[in-house]
Each structure stands twice: as structure tokens, then as C-alpha cells.
Amino acid sequence: MSTRTRHLDSLLPALSEAYGPPGRESGIRAAIKRAVRGLGKASEDALGNVHLHVGGKGPRLLLTAHMDAPGIIVTRVDATGLARISLLGPILASDWIGATVSWNGQRGLIGWDHPKGATEVEPESLFLETGLGEKAAAKWIPVGTVGALHDRAERLGDLWCGGNLDNRAGCAALIAAIAGVQGPRNDLHVVFSAQSDLGSRGAMTSVFGIEPDCAVVLDVAFVGESKQGDIALGKGPCLGLKEEGYLPHPDALDLVKRAARAAKVKHQWLIRESSGSDARVVRASRSGVPTALVAVPARKTGGPRVLVNANDLEQVVKLVRQIVTTPYTGEKGPR
């Protein structure tokens, strides 16, 4: 499927099915590089981040979205030919049951042992069934094999439904936004970061190299993470007020709020206690970077696929386009 059309309808399905578990993002890296061709100067760094320098005059603005999506890593093949796994990323063990994973042209199914009396699903009781049989499995799925959630996003009425929407939805929105931008008012850098699900690792090194004056992080936030004042699907992009390790910088938040007003984008506030995004490391880079977080609201289903409202995603695109064309007025960084 071609990623040359930069509209969400074709972009999101294509990006969502690209192979890119944390630390092994080769597939999504290639798909993103294809999708951003012609939009600026693209390069890759030691951790696998894709850096796109779009350019423009004015303060150095960084927009970033993580491109890795949760995966699994094989820890051994047991006597019955089932591979045992460990999880990479924040998806709960119970939500992996029934998922298809893929790597290197191979595929497998995640199942659960259902141990007697178990009230919780532990990762140790999950298995990866490849149908290869004991001897072949031990040979073809060595320890350290990394599998991605194999899924292609599709429309379900007003919603997008897919396994890798966190954060391929953010990546797709970011590409659709910069593709349609007219007259940027900042020197724009875009980073599709790697290894976010291993502790925001790619974001750390990419921001170190860029030294932006201001940064906006695009990610996904799940409904149900707050008891009161929760976010909801269909109410527009979430602006982050607090998450684990992150509080917005007033100047960065001001940029996003002004853009939202100018673009007439309705938004909601995000406060979450125990999850985080790359924002927490972006803001702490070097001498510090004024950072704001924009998150697409999403809903879990208890299984591998999650849901995002299609209109919320369009509104994120609209908001990001406006951010790029709104001059940042905060203090510039030392360089």
C-alpha cells in the first residue's frame, strides 16, 4: 500500500501495519521515510530515530511522535514447541491474548495457558504458537526474536480501530499536518522517535542533538486512566497538564492554546497519574526545553485492538498545522 497520499485515510492503515517494535523499528522507519519524501531533509541517528528538518525562519520548533509500538520478545521455546515471551511496552498481558504477531515474514498467535485458579494474566503464562512444532520452533524462533503486533487499522463508523494506534495515529496525524502546511512561522524539526516504550530512549538522544527552543510531543492517551475529570473520545485533542514526570512549560502551553483558539479546535485537558510520554525526557534535555503535550484520546477494548475517534484525529491535524504557523514567543534557548 502506497504511503504517498498523505491523507489520514490511506496514511494511517499503512503506518499501522508496519513492523516496528521498540528497538527494532526497521519497518516503520522505512514507511515513514517514504511518507515524508519531499517534505524536508530526512536522516537517521544511532538509536534509529527519523529526523526530518523541514526548515523555516524563526524559533527552532520540534514536533515529535514516537514510532515504535509494543511488541514481544522470545525468551525460550518450551518442550511442547510453544515459545515463551516477555512483553515490550505498556500493553497488559491480558490484552495480548488472541493477538497475531509477526517478524521476518513469520507469524504467530499469542495465547494464554489459563493456569488453574489464576485470577490475573501473568506474562509468564502467555505463549506464542507458530505451528512449527518443537524442533523447528527452537530453530526458527531463537531467544531474542522480537515480534510486532500484526494489525492493520480500519474504520469502524466514526472510529478507527487497530492494534498499533498508540502511536501510529500520532505519527499519521503529524505527517498529514506538515504535508498540508502553508507558510511555517518557525524553523521546524520533526522527529519520529524510536524506543519510546523502553523508556523514551530515542527522544532523549534526538532532542540532545537538535536543541530546540520549544517542543510539542504528540502521543495517545487512554480513557480510564483518571478517576475524576477523565478525557473522552469525540471531545477533541487533549492538552497535557500533568502526567508522570511532565508538567507543561507555560510558554509552550501558550503556543498550543493560541493555536487551538486560532484554528477553532475544541480541546480537553489531560491529567494522568501513572502513565507518561516522551514529554518527560524532552523537557529535561540539556538546559531544558519548554515542552507541551498534545494527545489523541483513545479507548482500550480489553484485547489487542484500541479505538480512536476519526474526527478527534482530524482535529489534531488541524491543531498541529496551526501550531507550525503560529510563532513561538517564549525565550530562545542557549546554543
Partner 1 sequence: MASNGDRTCADWLRHLTSLPGVPGQEQETARAVMKAFRTVADRVERDRMGSVYAWIEGTAKAPRPRALLAAHMDKIGFLVRAVEPGGWLRLTEVGGFDSRTLPGKEVTVHSNPPMTAIFATKPPHLQKGGEAERSIPLEELYLDTGRPEREVRRRVPIGTMVTLRQPPIDLMGDRMAAPGMDDRAGVVVMLRALELLRDRRPKWDVIAVATVEEEFGMFCLGARTATETLAPDLGIAIDVSHGDMPGARDGDTVPLGSGPALSIGGNIHPLILEELKRSAKALSMPYRVEPAPMSSGTDAMDIQIASGGVPTAVIGIPCRYMHTGVETVEPRDVDRCAHLLAHYLSELSPEWRAVEVLK
Partner 2 sequence: MSGNGAPPFREDILEQISNAPGVSGGEEAVRAILAEIARDKVDSLEVDPMGSLVGRIEPLARNGKRKGPHVMLCAHMDEVGLMVTAIEKEGRLRFRRVGGIDPRILPGQVFRIGLAGIRAVVGTLPPHLVPRAERDKVTAPDDLYLDVGARSREEAEEMIPVGSYAVFDTTYESWGTTRKGKAFDDRAGCAVLASIIQRRPPVPVTAVWSVQEEVGLRGAAAAARRVRPDVAIVLEGTASGEAPGAPPEEQYPYMGKGPALTVQDRSLMVHARLLETIESTAKQKRVLTQWKRPAVGGTDAGRIAISGTGVPSAVISVVCRYIHAPAALLDVRDAQRATTLVWHTLETLRKEWP
Residue 74 found at the interface with partner 2 (CB under 8 A): yes
Give the largest Cα separation in the chain, rounded: 64
Q: Which does 144 bind (CB under 5 to 8 A by kind): partner 1, partner 2, none?
A: partner 2
66 binds, among partner 2, partner 1, none (CB under 5 to 8 A by kind): none
Select the span of 44-52, 149-157, 165-173, 306-314 touching partner 2 (CB under 8 A). 44-52
Nearest to 8 by CA among 319, 316, 314, 237: 314
Query: Which range of residues in 85-93, 100-108, 167-175, 265-273 is near partner 2 by CB under 8 A?
Result: 85-93
Residues of this chain that bind partner 1 (CB under 8 A): 226-229, 241-242, 244-250, 269, 271, 273, 280, 283-284, 286-288, 290, 330-331, 333-334
What character string, x for contact with partner 2 (CB under 8 A) and - otherwise, covers 97-116? --------------------
Determine if 79 is a binding residue for partner 2 (CB under 8 A).
yes
Closer by beta carbon to partner 1, 40 or else 333: 333
Contacted by 333, from partner 1, partner 2, none: CB < 5 to 8 Å by type? partner 1
Site for partner 2 in 130-159 (CB under 8 A): 142-144, 146
The residue whose grid cell reads 503556543 is: 255
In the complex, which residues of this chain contact partner 2 (CB under 8 A)?
22-24, 45-47, 49, 73-79, 86-88, 142-144, 146, 195, 198, 201-202, 204-206, 208-209
